[in-house]
Amino acid sequence: MLVEIIEVVAYSGYRVEECPRLFITRGEQIEVIAILNMWIEENVKTKKRKRFFRVRGSDGYEYSIYYDEEMMQWFLIRE
């Protein structure tokens, strides 16, 4: 499993970077057509949180991306 930093345009509601709308990976812009699943993982000891999203892109593929709240950065998981 590879993880790469990506640029994301996200909807920001009551919290920053709430929901991804599109992301850019390897120079390609992919619109998020649907959010298939979302969940939060929190380290019990450190309380560090990551918000995960399983999305369908405008290219027809499914992607797993997450937002690391401590780093304030989005990542794409390449499986």
pLDDT digits (tens, 9 = 90+) for 4-38: 999 999 987 666 667 899 999 999 999 999 999 99
Percent of all residues in the chain with a pLDDT value above 70, rounded to a whole number = 94
Beta strands in 1-79, from DSSP E residues, in sequence order: 2-11, 19-25, 28-42, 49-57, 62-68, 73-78
SS3 50: strand
Q: What is the DSSP string of 11-30?
A: E-SSSTT-EEEEEEETTEEE
Residues paired with 24 in a beta bridge? 7, 29
